[in-house]
Structure 1
Amino acid sequence: MHLILTGATGLVGASVLHNMLAQESISRISILSRRPVKMAEGHDKAKVIIHNNYRKYEKALLEELRGAQGCVWAQGVSQNAVSKEEYLEITHDYPLAAAKAFSTLHSDSPFTFVYVSAEGATQAPGMFTSHFARVKGETEASLFDFAQQNPMFNVYNVRPGGVDWLGQPEIHPFIPQQALYKRVLVPPLNVVYKGLITPTQPMGKIMTELAMSKGEPLQGSGVQMEGTVLTNAGMRRMAGL
C-alpha cells in the first residue's frame, strides 16, 4: 500500500510516520515536506518530496503520487504563530487544495484522506469561539462536503486533545522541542484529566489505519458527522484507553 503524509517533522506527523514505517503492509510512503525528514532517512519505502507550494500540485508531482490510496494530513501550525489570514490558508486552504488534487489519483478505487483537526473544532461557532476552533470546524465541513460530491474520495476528521509524546521515546529525537508549559502540564493532566490527553503512540496507529481503510463510516461513541469525525474520546475508546 502507498500512503501520503504531510507534517512529518511535527509532533503528530512524527508519530504517524513512526507507525507507517513499522507497518509491513505499507510498501511506499510519499512524504510532502518543505525540508528533509530525518526519521525517513535510511528507509527505502519512504520518499521525501520537497514541496513548497501547498496550493498547487503540478502534473509531475501527481505522477509521483499516482497509486497512493490514502493520506494523513498532519501539517499544521499554532494560531498564535501566524496571522489569522495565514492560519486560514494553512489550516483550511492547503488541505482543501490537496484533497482536490489527490481525488484525481484514483478514478476507480477509493482514496481516504485523514485530516488532523483538533478537539474543540466546531461547525457552530459562537461569540467566544477561538479562531482555531472556528477554522478547524470550517475545514472539517469543507472536506465533508467535498467527499459528499466525490463518491470515490473518503474523509476522516480526527480531533486529538492534548498530545502527549512522553510515552513514545522513539520519536523524541525527531520532534521539535515542546514548549515548557506543555512539559509542565502534560504529566499532571495525564493523572487528573486523562480523558483530555491523546498519547502519540495509539494516535499514530489509529490515523495510519484510517488512511489504509476504505473510508467506511465510523461507529460507536465519540464519533460525529455521519461517522467521519473521530473525537479524542472516540480515539481513546478505539485505543482501549
Structure 2
Amino acid sequence: MKVVVFGASGLIGDGIVQESLRAADVTTVVTVGRSPLNVEHPKLRHIVHDNFLDFTAISGDLAGLDACFWALGTSAVGISPQDYERITYDYTLAAARTLATINPDLTFVYLSGLGTDSSEQGRTRWARVKGRTENAIIATFPNGYALRPGFVQPAHAMRSKTRWYRWTTTAAAPIAPLLLRLLPAYATSTRQIGQAALNLARHGQSPHILENRDINTAVTPHHA
C-alpha cells in the first residue's frame, strides 16, 4: 500500500507517519509540506511544495497512491475567519480534487474534530467549516472518511506545535492512560488515530464519519 500524508509535521500527522512506517503492508509513505521532515526511513519520500491551492506541479508525484491521510489544519483561535476557511476547506479540497482525478479509487481520510457540524448550519463557525469540508470529501471520494478525535495524547516522541495543546498534553501525561480507558468517547492517542486511518484504507467501513469512540475501536494493527 502506498500512502500520502499532508500535515506530517504536526502532532497527529507525525503519528500517522510513524504508524504507516511501522505497518508491514505499507510500502511507501509520501509526505507533502513546505519543508522536508527531519525523518529518514527507507519507505519515506518527501515532496516539498509551497502552493496548497494548486497541486498541479506535483500531480505526477501523487500518482499510484492508495490512500491520503489529511492531517493539515490550524486552530480557529487567533486567526481570521477567511484564513481559517482557506486552510481548512480550500487547501483540503484543492488536494482532494487533484487526487480524485489521478487516483479515483483512493481512500481519503480527513482529520476533523469532535463537535464538527455536518449540517453546516450551527452557531459555531469552525464546526461549520469542518462540516463543510467533511461533506465535500465524502462526496468527492466513494472511499472518503472523516475522523473526529477529541483529546489526543501523543503516543510517539512528538510534541504539538500549538502552545496550549502542548501544555495540556504535558499536564495530562501522567493520567493519559486513565483518560483513554475511562473516556473512550472523548480521548484517543496518535497511535490509535494512525491505526484507524490505516484500517480504513485497508478495509473501509460505513458510516463514513468516525467519532472518537469509533476511532478507538477501528484499530487492527499490522505492524512489521
TM-score (norm 1): 0.80
Name the SS for the 1:38 alignment partner: coil
Count the aligned residue pairs: 215
Change (3 A) 1:63 1:79: same
Question: Where does residue 214 of structure 2 map in the other structure?
Answer: 234
Question: Where does residue 163 of structure 1 map in the other structure?
Answer: 152
Residue 180 of structure 1 aligns with an amino acid whose one-letter code is W
Q: Does 1:217 align with 2:215?
A: no
Q: Does 1:140 align with 2:134?
A: yes
- Out of 58, 61, 69, the position equivalent to 1:61 is 58
Counterpart-to-counterpart distance in 1, 2:193 and 2:51: 28
Name the SS for the 2:20 alignment partner: helix
Could you tell me whether the CA contact under 8 Å between 2:120 and 2:129 is conserved in 1? Answer: no
Question: What is the alpha-carbon root mean square deviation over aligned residues?
Answer: 2.3
Q: Does 1:131 align with 2:125?
A: yes
Counterpart-to-counterpart distance in 2, 1:84 and 1:29: 33
Change (3 A) 1:181 1:25: closer
Question: Where does residue 167 of structure 2 map in the other structure?
Answer: 180
Once the 2 structures are TM-superposed, how far is the Cα of residue 26 of structure 1 from its aligned partner? 1.4
Q: Does 1:38 align with 2:33?
A: no
Question: Where does residue 24 of structure 1 map in the other structure?
Answer: 24
Counterpart-to-counterpart distance in 2, 1:115 and 1:190: 26
Change (3 A) 1:20 1:81: farther
Residue 143 of structure 1 aligns with an amino acid whose one-letter code is I
Question: Where does residue 150 of structure 1 map in the other structure?
Answer: none
- Out of 113, 116, 119, the position equivalent to 1:118 is 113
Give CA deviations for 1:68-98 in whole Å, capped at 9, x if unaligned: 1110001011111421111101111111111
% identical equivalent positions: 28
Q: Does 1:90 align with 2:84?
A: no
Could you tell me whether the CA contact under 8 Å between 2:153 and 2:176 is conserved in 1? Answer: no
Name the SS for the 1:61 alignment partner: helix
Question: Where does residue 104 of structure 1 map in the other structure?
Answer: 101
Which has the higher mean CA deviation after the structures are superposed, 178-187 or 10-19? 178-187
Change (3 A) 1:56 1:175: same
Give CA deviations for 1:174-208 in whole Å, capped at 9, x if unaligned: 65364324433565576466231111211111112
Change (3 A) 1:183 1:84: same
Change (3 A) 1:26 1:86: same
Structure 2: runs of 5+ lacking an equivalent? none
Structure 1: 4+ residue segments shifted above 4 A = 185-190
Counterpart-to-counterpart distance in 1, 2:13 and 2:96: 18
TM-score (norm 2): 0.86
Give CA deviations for 1:111-165 in whole Å, capped at 9, x if unaligned: 11000010100123566x3222111111111222223xxxxx4201111111111
Counterpart-to-counterpart distance in 1, 2:82 and 2:174: 34
Structure 1: runs of 5+ lacking an equivalent? 148-152, 219-226
